[in-house]
Amino acid sequence: MNAALIDVATRMPKAELHIHIEGSLEPELIFALAQRNGLTLAYPSIAALRAAYAFTDLQSFLDIYYAGASVLLTEQDFYDMTWAYLERAHADHVLHAELFFDPQTHTARGVAFAMVVDGIHRALADAHQKWGMTGGLIMCFLRHLSEEEAFATLEQALPYREKIIGIGLDSSERGHPPEKFARVFARCHELGFHLVAHAGEEGPPAYITTALDLLHVERIDHGVRCIDDPLLMQRLAREKMPLTVCPLSNIKLCVFEKMSQHNLLTLLDAGLMITINSDDPAYFGGYLNDNFVAIIEALPLQRQHLQQLARNSFSAAFMDEGIRQKYLHQVDAFFAA
């Protein structure tokens, strides 16, 4: 039974909406880029680096994630990283991918904003040309930095406005509530960007509420802590607010102890618009289909749940309505076959 469901889940058409492109940097590529750029890493080998991927919480991961990203210097580095992810995504039947990127991690090291955006965007353009894959870039502000720094980053992004579809908020959640970024998000809204924010991953449900009411986001990234506030859960269901849930990430960062304890099926059955995503696949043990395999093995998912998750991924995506309808038909045709 599981084997049949896994076969369906891995082959079904799907979108990925929550992937930090710097989190797709595999240890092998980190070492290759370090060598290409003449950098020495703090880890003696690929195995030693991989062995350090034992996280206790979000911050313990972020410390290693920012260290890994420090090998990215040139436009070609950002292209190679993105292309490696897109090839994996294509193999997983991902037809549409929205990629988070963290420019402040790079500009703080003296890397030009253009290198970051141009490299990632060029890979997406090539994926569109080669496979018809669609997608976009979502620029994230690091919430452990100030709102003033976010405003400065937004200024740097404006010449690249056409290459960026949305704005997000990531990094250390606790102690950095959404309201810290209310003014810069209001400005991004005026500029016509789509808006999303990480909320309720480690932080309290109140952060989900303020992301909705003060940042006016269109999706919540993670959001699983909504389970602690039944009224908020009802609201999320009523408003069809998408939650981009990342199952393997939640286990690696100890948000849930075991996959069998993950609440995504409870949320899905309560009518919330749940989507499945990989977050930082190189660090958390797998890409999008690996996440589907893990949840099918641990939770009593049915075939109709998979169809709902595939439909939700396109319903929650930032794309033209015509393209959305085409993808939704593709999902329904796949499940009718």
202 binds, among ligand HPA, Zn ion, none (CB under 5 to 8 A by kind): none
Euclidean distance between CA atoms 3 and 1, whole angstroms: 5
Q: Which residue's CB is nearer to ligand HPA, number 170 or number 290?
A: 170
Q: How far is the CB of 221 from Zn ion (least distance, A)?
A: 5
Q: Which residue's CB is nearer to Zn ion, number 71 or number 197?
A: 197
Phi-psi region of 23 (alpha: psi -120 to 50; beta: other; left: phi over 0): alpha
Question: What are all long-range contacts of 30-34, with beta carbons under 8 Å and residues at least 24 apart?
Answer: 30/68, 30/71, 33/71, 33/72, 33/73, 33/77, 33/80, 33/81, 34/71
* Element containing residue 204 per DSSP (H, E): none
Q: Which residue's CB is nearer to ligand HPA, number 198 or number 311?
A: 198
Q: Which residue's CB is nearer to ligand HPA, number 126 or number 147?
A: 147
3-state SS class at 71? coil
23 binds, among ligand HPA, Zn ion, none (CB under 5 to 8 A by kind): ligand HPA
Residues 6+ apart with CB under 8 A from 142: 102, 104, 105, 149, 150, 170, 171
Our answer to whether residue 201 is catalytic in this structure is: yes
101 binds, among ligand HPA, Zn ion, none (CB under 5 to 8 A by kind): none
Q: Which residue's CB is nearer to ligand HPA, number 52 or number 237?
A: 52
98 binds, among ligand HPA, Zn ion, none (CB under 5 to 8 A by kind): none
Q: How far is the CB of 277 from Zn ion (least distance, A)?
A: 8
Residues 6+ apart with CB under 8 A from 260: 298, 299
Under rule CB under 5 A, residue 22 binds Zn ion: no
For residue 255 the two structure tokens come to 């948000």
Q: How far is the CB of 60 from ligand HPA (least distance, A)?
A: 12
Question: What are all long-range contacts of 158-161, with beta carbons under 8 Å and residues at least 24 apart?
Answer: 158/191, 160/113, 160/114, 160/117, 161/191
Interface residue with Zn ion, options 26, 77, 98, 279 (CB under 5 A): 279
Q: Where are the beta strands (DSSP E) in 215-291?
A: 219-222, 242-245, 273-276
Catalytic residue among 201, 202, 239, 321: 201
Euclidean distance between CA atoms 281 and 132, whole angstroms: 23
Q: How far is the CB of 182 from Zn ion (least distance, A)?
A: 21
Q: How far is the CB of 255 from ligand HPA (least distance, A)?
A: 9
Please list the residues that pair with 134 across neighbouring strands: 96
Residues 6+ apart with CB under 8 A from 335: 8, 12, 303, 306, 307, 310
Question: Which residues contact ligand HPA by CB under 6 A?
Answer: 20, 23, 58, 65, 170-171, 198, 201, 249, 279-280
Enumerate residues 245-274 that contact Zn ion by CB under 5 A.
none
Q: How many residues bind Zn ion (CB under 5 A)?
A: 1
Q: Which residue's CB is nearer to ligand HPA, number 20 or number 121?
A: 20
Q: How far is the CB of 111 from ligand HPA (least distance, A)?
A: 18
Site residues, Zn ion (CB under 5 A): 279
Catalytic positions are: 201
